[in-house]
Amino acid sequence: MYAAGTAMVGVVTLALVLSGCGEALDADPSPTADASTSTSAEPSPSDVPSSTSPSVAEPGSAPPPWLGTRVLKEDAEGYGIAGPTPKELRNRAWTLPDMMPMLPGDGFTAEVDIAPDEVIARSTWAPGCPVSRRELTWVRMTFWGFDGARHTGEMLINARVAEDVVGVFRRLYEARFPIEQMDITTKAALDAPPTGDGNGTGGFVCRPSVGQTSFSQHAYGLAIDLNTFQNPYVKGARVIPELARWYLNRSRRAPGMIHDGDVVVQAFADIGWEWGGDWNSLKDYQHFSENGT
């Protein structure tokens, strides 16, 4: 995402910025008959293609050249208006180019430091965020891509939980759980128009929860989103990323998906973090947080 003018620019950050992660779960709102305003966590059957929908992408395949470039029309709330998932994005299984130098070794490796000025400068941190810049840790670590190769990514996370988070990603690496790209959300992404096809994995983003005035747990560096496209946010008719409807059928076992009781959910549970896929009033399949919101 550091080189402008490529189709990859903003793909990861858009998914994290637009995700609904951390929305308040005070009560399970009553669904209405109007699908456009329903707050039921489950989409209607017509929104979810059957498990026999054709598989298009092959593991290790290249992304379509238009990825991250086709801006969606926006609704009154600023979200993209999208139809079904394009066939090229079903069974999505590629890994985007690394933006960090490869870490040494041939297994899991992590480097943890206080975030330097240049990293803070390209992140979403600013005065007024609920965490000080000195409380943020810059983590570089290896992960398995959908191409079956070792990759290196970066993440900002609250220093208090950095050791636990690194332990989680060590377990995911050992299990060869695939990740498309791991990167830091930038300020530019906060104002970027929606393309609905981002697939981010990351932690700190200084923003409120969707539809709320209070800060998301991401703004404290105490939440992580993982493969946002394969694990979308859904509340009624709202799906984020907007083109990820194919993945609302959670009976699928496509690469990169998170399921109840799997290695991802268990690894986070073992450090005391909760999964948004367990929520009732909405489902946030990508989201894990220390306090469960």
pLDDT in tens, 133-171: 999 999 999 999 999 999 999 999 999 999 999 999 999
Residue 189's pLDDT band, with cuts at 50, 70 and 90, is confident
pLDDT at 263 over 70: yes
Taking CA atoms, 235 is separated from 106, 159, 162, 224, in Å, by: 41, 31, 30, 19
Q: In terms of pLDDT, which residue wins out, 256 or 51?
A: 256
Residue 190's pLDDT band, with cuts at 50, 70 and 90, is confident
pLDDT at 172 over 50: yes
- 181 close to 11: Cβ distance less than 8 angstroms: yes
233 phi, psi to nearest 5 deg: -90, 135
pLDDT at 60 over 80: no
Of the candidates 262, 280, 279, 259, the one whose C-alpha atom is nearest the C-alpha of residue 270 is 262
pLDDT at 3 over 70: no
Would you tell me how many other CB atoms lie within 10 Å of the CB of residue 208?
A: 14
Average pLDDT over residues 180-192: 91
- Give the tokens for residue 293: 């919101």
Residue 191's pLDDT band, with cuts at 50, 70 and 90, is confident
* Sign, Cα dihedral of 271, 289, 101, 177: positive
- 199 close to 241: Cβ distance less than 8 angstroms: yes
* Sign, Cα dihedral of 76, 194, 202, 145: positive
Residue 43's pLDDT band, with cuts at 50, 70 and 90, is low
- Specify the pLDDT at position 7: 37
pLDDT at 11 over 70: no
Cα(6)–Cα(65) distance, rounded to whole angstroms?
9
Cα(202)–Cα(196) distance, rounded to whole angstroms?
17
Q: What is the DSSP letter of 63?
A: P
Can you tell me whether residue 277 is helix, strand or coil? helix
- Specify the pLDDT at position 207: 79
Cα(255)–Cα(5) distance, rounded to whole angstroms?
29
What is the enclosing helix (H) or strand (E) of 150?
Answer: strand 150-158
Average pLDDT over residues 194-209: 91
| DSSP per-residue codes, 124-135 | S--TTSSS-GGG
Of the candidates 192, 149, 172, the one whose C-alpha atom is nearest the C-alpha of residue 11 is 192
